[in-house]
Chain A
Amino acid sequence: MDEKIKNRIVTSFFKTVRSFGTMLPMLFGIILLLGLFKVYVTPEMVSSVFTDRPLHDTLLGALIGSISTGNPITSYIIGGGLLDDGVSLFAVTAFILTWVTVGMVQLPAEAAMLGKRFALTRNGLSFILAIVVAVATVLTLRVIG
């Protein structure tokens, strides 16, 4: 192999390791925080806070989705349970959307890697858009029957 190419591969490797290494303390912190979150915040606690007011529940759904984290399947299971309990589809849609698009637990990592302003703006916009998408989805479903 050409010596120049070899050097570039090695340089690129060490650059990657160094770049990833700077992220490691934050990554371990986030993983440990997720562990605490999963033990202290149970799905039952999430279900118990909803009422029968659609607007209030939609905002609450978006808020709880934002501070919750984990595999999206969990949000579908909780969302399915919430629907069975009579919680509005607006609230459930906002909840499952913000579960993935807004990350309060991951916010420190996002701010550290991509900038505080970017992270705050992006999460803020995702929160608002989740409510807009929830309303649009449910209204469209009502129109198409």
Chain B
Amino acid sequence: MNSGGEGAGEDDKKGKNGIKNKNGSTFRYGVYFLLFIVMMYTVLFFLDISKIYRALRVSFDIFVQILPVLVMVILLMWVSGYFLKPKAVSKYLGKESGIRGWALAVSFGIVSHGSVYVWYPLLKEMRGHGMRDGLIASFLYNRAVKIPLIPVMIYYFGIAFVSVLTAYTIIASVIEGKLLEMLEH
């Protein structure tokens, strides 16, 4: 039984084509960006070879460092693609999610690891399923709260500073999410 009828089928087709087009433009944009960076490397190579070798070495180290998080994000995307249905995402992270949605975005932002750009594909996917932009912004802002790094932060700045800053960062993340949604609409 198809409760949506033909209209739903057409919408589905349009949605799939839309995602394909968006993925295509993301890929194209990425290729142009990569080519631009490669050109920068080529120019700088002739100016200072040793620095370019060092930059490549640093880049390789970064890649090795983020590899476990990349694998984790791919697995998360796979699992979320299988289990999370738009209805569920919309319920917990969509327009009607309320305080629970904000609490989830803040918590996930705090516990998320690794470089921020590794999380963009998952967030894009979640948004496609109905996640609010405000919650995405809140998630990204809360990455400033790094639980494993708190002892290092306390060492440099003291416990009072870290406590106050952490509290304000969480509050600011919600304000940012709300402001972003206001500006978008």
B82 at the interface (CB under 8 A from A): yes
- Give the CA-CA distance A108 to B77 in the complex, in Å: 22
> If the complex has contacts A19-B23, A100-B143, are A114 and B136 also in contact, measured as CB distance less than 8 A?
yes
Residue ID in chain B nearest A26 by CB atoms = B30
Number of interface residues of A (CB under 8 A): 63
Residue ID in chain A nearest B153 by CB atoms = A76
- Give the CA-CA distance A121 to B134 in the complex, in Å: 11
- Give the CA-CA distance A129 to B29 in the complex, in Å: 30
Contact A32–B41 (Cβ < 8 Å): yes
> If the complex has contacts A25-B30, A122-B176, are A113 and B121 also in contact, measured as CB distance less than 8 A?
yes
Q: A18 to chain B: closest CB distance in Å?
A: 7
Residues from chain A with a CB closer than 8 A to the CB of B111 are none
- Give the CA-CA distance A141 to B152 in the complex, in Å: 19
> If the complex has contacts A23-B121, A76-B153, are A29 and B36 also in contact, measured as CB distance less than 8 A?
yes
Q: B132 to chain A: closest CB distance in Å?
A: 12
B125 at the interface (CB under 8 A from A): yes
Contact A93–B165 (Cβ < 8 Å): yes
Interface string of B54-70 (1 = CB under 8 A from A): 11111110110010000
Interface string of A3-14 (1 = CB under 8 A from B): 000001100110
B46 at the interface (CB under 8 A from A): no
A56 at the interface (CB under 8 A from B): no
> If the complex has contacts A9-B82, A80-B156, are A129 and B125 also in contact, measured as CB distance less than 8 A?
no
Q: A5 to chain B: closest CB distance in Å?
A: 9
B residues whose Cβ falls under 8 Å from a Cβ of A: 23-24, 26-27, 29-31, 33-34, 36-38, 40-41, 44, 51, 54-60, 62-63, 66, 73-74, 77-78, 81-82, 116-118, 120-121, 123-125, 127, 133, 136-137, 140-141, 143-144, 146, 149, 152-153, 156-157, 160-161, 164-165, 168-169, 172, 175-176, 179-180, 183-184
A residues whose Cβ falls under 8 Å from a Cβ of B: 8-9, 12-13, 15-36, 38-40, 72-73, 76-77, 79-80, 83, 89, 93, 97, 100-101, 103, 106, 108-110, 112-114, 117-118, 121-122, 125-126, 129, 132-133, 136-137, 140-141, 144
Contacts beyond the supplied A26-B26, A113-B120: 17 A-B pairs with Cβ under 8 Å? A19-B23, A19-B124, A20-B121, A22-B24, A22-B30, A28-B34, A76-B149, A76-B153, A93-B161, A109-B117, A113-B121, A118-B137, A121-B183, A125-B179, A125-B180, A137-B165, A141-B164
